[in-house]
Amino acid sequence: MKLKLINKENLTDNIWAFRFEPDEKQSWIPGQFIRVEIPHEQPDEEGAKRWFTVSSAPYEGLMQITTRVTGTTFKRALAAVPVGAEIDMLEAPDGDFVWPDSELPLIFIAGGIGATPFYSMLKQRFHDHQPLGVMLVYGGRTADLPFRAEFDQWAAADPRFKIHYVIGEPLTPAGLTALEPKLNDSLVYLSGPEPMVESLGDQLKASGLPEAQLRQDFFPNYTEANY
Ligand SMILES: Cc1cc2nc3c(=O)[nH]c(=O)nc-3n(C[C@H](O)[C@H](O)[C@H](O)COP(=O)(O)OP(=O)(O)OC[C@H]3O[C@@H](n4cnc5c(N)ncnc54)[C@H](O)[C@@H]3O)c2cc1C
């Protein structure tokens, strides 16, 4: 399967959105991911393949990936793809980090670029006039977080959608419980840099969140220093 680059946009800082047209019709559930390959000369040890959330919503037709363009050989190769050129999509969209069918109150916790699956889910639901019944806690090293304007617009339009930004300080069970005292009675989705997701997930379980109420999406190679 091929993805043709239609356009790219610098969202903020070194975060770019790359929008592709698939060569055959793709369907996906918001929150799912794809794996792409961009062959390039002398790839570093991480190689030429990466997983990315499809950060666009299915109604848009185009498949967007949103990522930090850094110094890794893969990211440089991605940034150098000319508009109109194709990259390889290795597998069809997959994953179960999607909007749940649950009666429990819902909490999304994003570390920086980890907001991509939440953005896709909320964008599709907003478009479909479905309720955005979730509290999103969006943590970042700095305030220039991607998707912020749209999240704020959706929160203004739907009072069931609550958003809290936590900038420049770690996300902790105590801080999250201060925002939502019923945290441990909620279904919690956690997405972001792998070390943050692991450590905050462990802390949440240790502070009483049942394991069955925690869903995690790990972004490898991002750390507390670069997410
Ligand atoms: C299910 C799933 C969904 C995902 N969704 C997304 C997503 O939506 N968006 C996303 O961005 N990622 C996503 N990821 C993670 C993605 O696959 C990559 O692991 C991630 O983007 C990191 O890319 P990278 O390895 O190129 O390292 P980067 O994070 O780009 O770089 C790592 C750090 O090392 C430095 N560095 C490393 N090598 C060099 C070098 N040679 N020269 C200079 N500096 C260097 C970089 O500057 C940076 O600070 C997802 C992963 C999974 C499993």
Give yes or no for residue 70 CB within 6 A of ligand 1. yes
% of the chain beyond a pLDDT of 90 = 96
Which pLDDT tens digit goes with each residue over 15-27?
999 999 999 999 9
Arithmetic mean of pLDDT over the chain? 96
**Is residue 149 scored above 90 in pLDDT?**
yes
Half-sphere exposure of residue 95, counting CA atoms within 13 Å on the CB side?
A: 24
Taking CB atoms within 8 Å and a gap of at least 24, the contacts of 173-180 are: 173/200, 173/203, 173/204, 173/206, 173/207, 173/209, 176/107, 176/109, 176/137, 176/204, 177/207, 179/135, 179/137, 180/105, 180/107, 180/135
Backbone angles phi, psi at 85, to 5 degrees: -85, 165
Atom of ligand 1 nearest to the CA of 220: 19
For the record, the structure tokens of 43 come out as 């790839």
Question: Using 50, 70 and 90 to split pLDDT, how confident is the model at 220?
Answer: confident
Give yes or no for residue 222 CB within 6 A of ligand 1. yes
Ligand 1 pocket test: pick from 50, 55, 215, 218 the residue with the most ligand atoms within 8 Å of its Cβ: 50
Coil/strand/helix, residue 65:
strand
**Is residue 187 scored above 80 in pLDDT?**
yes
Identity at 20, one-letter amino acid code:
F
pTM: 0.95
Give yes or no for residue 33 CB within 6 A of ligand 1. yes
How far does residue 53's CA lie from ligand 1's centre (Å)?
12
**Is residue 221 scored above 90 in pLDDT?**
no
pLDDT at 226: 77
Q: What domains does the chain contain, in order, with CATH numbers?
A: 2-94 (2.40.30.10), 106-219 (3.40.50.80)
Coil/strand/helix, residue 104:
coil
State the chain's maximal CA–CA distance in angstroms. Answer: 52
**Is residue 224 scored above 80 in pLDDT?**
no
Give yes or no for residue 216 CB within 6 A of ligand 1. no
How far does residue 66's CA lie from ligand 1's centre (Å)?
11
Give yes or no for residue 165 CB within 6 A of ligand 1. no
